[in-house]
Structure 1
Amino acid sequence: MPGLLQRVKSKMFIFAHRKTLGLLEGEYGSVFRGRSLDFDDLRTYVPGDEVRDIDWKATARHGSPLVKRYTAVRRHSVLLLVDTGRTMAAEAASGESKLEIAVEAAGVLGYLACRHGDDVGLLHGTETSNRYLPPRAGEHNLERLLREVQSAVSPQGPASALAQQLDYALRFLKGRLLVVGVADEFMPDQHTVELLRRLAARHEVLWLTIRDVELVSDATAPSSRDLGTGSMIPSALAADPDVRKAYLAAMHQREERRRELFRVLGIAEEQVGSSDGVVPAVFALLERHKAGRSGRAG
């Protein structure tokens, strides 16, 4: 049986031209550009040093200006933060499992990190547990992470609770990370919004939303079940034109609120509804993040 990462790489080369893959790697490489540095020690200020590098507390103790000296970070750490609650076993917009798309997305982003020599880790969980696998290098490690995600999701499993995973990341994970969230169309409550705000202040954060399947349009089809709540949606009701119109309007408003929320938080967010759309969505996500950083710098 072929490995999950091998399947991801095969699909990447099928659905993307060589030029597109080169651009994709370039966009990933731009994520960490800038002050990709770790503190080393202090030295005496000399004309031309940046004012923001002055250590004011040390300067006050020493009596003359001291600046922080940094060393370049040559390897970065990427954290895949994946929702593995039971709703990820539901259908996505394409009719595929959301889990299949999540594995594909995590694989593409993880593969880009591996190509750049970066470490990749995983944080996933539900309302009942968190599971953290620290960042490590290499494709063998990435394959292990993808299999971890694949085996963690079940229609009978616990519900999602992204706030718990975000809280875990804030309390226990040190050092600057590139955090890539992969989840379904959840709408953060105020507590989750505050956790996302704090996470974005500490790390580079990107978010990929997996789109839900639409309501059935065939009144004779079997009724659908909401995996999140367990409630049934009668097909006759879902196929009613007025119900569908109201549902689509509500979902559109919800989508706009979520997009605005991520914009205010300064977190690049992109949506994907199929495994074939993962590479374009990741490319658009990295571009959106780059544009957002340029806007904040300006």
Structure 2
Amino acid sequence: MPSLLRRVKSKMFIFAHRRTLTLLDGEYGSVFKGRSLDFDELRAYVPGDEVRDIDWKATARHGSPLVKRYVAVRRHTVLLLVDTGRNMAAQALSGETKKDIAVHAAGVLGYLASRHGDDVGLLHGNATRSTYIPPRSGEEHLERLLRDVDASASLDGQASGIAEQLDYVLRYLKGRLLIVAVADEFLPDARTETLMRRLRGRHEVLWLTVCDAELAAEPGNRMQESTDVGTGQGIPLSLAVDPTVRAAYAAATLERERRRQDVFYRLGIAEEQTTGSEDVLGSVFALLEKHRSRAFTARTPTKGGSRAG
């Protein structure tokens, strides 16, 4: 069977040149507050390096910019929290299954963690069951995690219910984690929002949402009747192509998205969306940058001495 991780890495190197990978590494490395680092060496500055890493005294002596390189003193633990309920077997906006996009996203995030020497674990499941694979290092372990995600989401499985996985973390997992959730597009209910708030208080939490497909293709294109994977109910074409229904659906979708983003903002959780595997790298970078910027803002005193929220 072809390696899922090799497929992820090949896409990363096809669509991400050296500077992009350097930026991704830099954004990932900045996620952990107070990450413990030891000085390693000086090297020539390359585009994408942080300006704050330039050694100005060494640069003046050398005549060209030099940056300090550091190595992590200790490993951190990354938990990939992936929705593998029935909803993730549905079609995404790109036409792929959401599961395939989730595998790719988990692969990118896990590979970044491995490059930094961090341990990676997996928690996935549906509304009735959670499966946990403890953190370890190495690409062989990461391949196992990706295969577990790939094999677990199916149309005949249980519906998605990310609250069960959030509850599992709070009950059973100890120690501070970097949790990256990869989940279906949903609006958190009161219970889920409470669990997310508690999780955010204990861990670093980032959230990547896999976007839903459209209601139906534009009228005039070849279409088939759509089915809501969550409920199993079909959406008749006569309704899906009706202009009034489409307009009402679009308005409801916008309102739901506004409410969903408001939840993440209030909880202080960085959230980004991805529409397909070709979009994952950009979405991961945007997510890491959003988390870093939000964490920096929260730690920076305002003029009045209080902290920005």
Q: TM-score by structure 1 length?
A: 0.86
Equivalent residue, structure 2, for 1:32 = 32
Q: Does the 8 A contact of 1:209 with 1:270 survive in 2?
A: yes
1:220-270: CA deviation from partner (whole Å, max 9, x where unpaired): 622111010111101121111111111111111111111111011010000
Q: Does the 8 A contact of 1:218 with 1:235 survive in 2?
A: no
Asked if 1:212 corresponds to 2:234, the answer is no
Instruction: State the alpha-carbon separation in 1 of the partners of residues 36 and 91 from structure 2.
Output: 39
Secondary structure (helix, strand or coil) at the match of 1:215 reads: coil
Instruction: State the alpha-carbon separation in 1 of the partners of residues 204 and 33 from structure 2.
Output: 11
Instruction: From 278, 287, 296, give the equivalent of 1:294.
Output: 296
Return the offset for 1:35.
Answer: 6.1
Instruction: State the alpha-carbon separation in 2 of the partners of residues 128 and 251 from structure 1.
Output: 27
Instruction: From 238, 257, 260, give the equivalent of 1:258.
Output: 260
Percent pairwise identity: 64
Secondary structure (helix, strand or coil) at the match of 1:124 reads: strand
Which AA in structure 2 matches 1:252?
A: L
Asked if 1:157 corresponds to 2:157, the answer is yes
* Alignment of structure 1 residues 46-85 onto 2, 5 Å: 74-85=74-85
Instruction: From 232, 235, 240, give the equivalent of 1:233.
Output: 235
Q: 1:261 to 1:73 in 2, by over 3 A?
A: farther
Equivalent residue, structure 2, for 1:64 = none
Alpha-carbon RMSD across the aligned residues, in angstroms, is 1.4
Instruction: Give the number of aligned pairs.
Output: 264
Q: Which runs of 4+ in 1 moved over 4 A?
A: none
Instruction: State the alpha-carbon separation in 2 of the partners of residues 165 and 103 from structure 1.
Output: 17
Q: Does the 8 A contact of 1:90 with 1:155 survive in 2?
A: yes
Instruction: State the alpha-carbon separation in 2 of the partners of residues 81 and 197 from structure 1.
Output: 16
Equivalent residue, structure 2, for 1:198 = 198
Instruction: State the alpha-carbon separation in 2 of the partners of residues 282 and 131 from structure 1.
Output: 24
Asked if 1:111 corresponds to 2:111, the answer is yes
Asked if 1:274 corresponds to 2:292, the answer is no
Which AA in structure 2 matches 1:249?
A: A
Q: Report the more deviating stretch, 244-253 or 187-196.
A: 244-253
Q: Does the 8 A contact of 1:226 with 1:233 survive in 2?
A: yes
Equivalent residue, structure 2, for 1:96 = 96
Instruction: From 243, 248, 251, give the equivalent of 1:249.
Output: 251
Which AA in structure 1 matches 2:4?
A: L
Equivalent residue, structure 2, for 1:6 = 6
Q: Does the 8 A contact of 1:218 with 1:236 survive in 2?
A: no
Instruction: State the alpha-carbon separation in 1 of the partners of residues 268 and 33 from structure 2.
Output: 17
Secondary structure (helix, strand or coil) at the match of 1:142 reads: helix
Equivalent residue, structure 2, for 1:285 = 287
Secondary structure (helix, strand or coil) at the match of 1:257 reads: helix
Secondary structure (helix, strand or coil) at the match of 1:196 reads: helix
1:108-128: CA deviation from partner (whole Å, max 9, x where unpaired): 000000000000000011122
Instruction: State the alpha-carbon separation in 2 of the partners of residues 86 and 152 from structure 1.
Output: 9
Equivalent residue, structure 2, for 1:43 = none
Return the offset for 1:202.
Answer: 0.3
Secondary structure (helix, strand or coil) at the match of 2:247 reads: helix
**Structure 1: tracts of 5 or more residues without a match:** 38-71
Instruction: State the alpha-carbon separation in 1 of the partners of residues 172 and 142 from structure 2.
Output: 21
Instruction: State the alpha-carbon separation in 1 of the partners of residues 83 and 124 from structure 2.
Output: 6
Instruction: State the alpha-carbon separation in 2 of the partners of residues 73 and 226 from structure 1.
Output: 48
**Structure 2: tracts of 5 or more residues without a match:** 38-71, 301-309
Instruction: State the alpha-carbon separation in 2 of the partners of residues 188 and 148 from structure 1.
Output: 25
Equivalent residue, structure 1, for 2:177 = 177
Which AA in structure 1 matches 2:272?
A: E
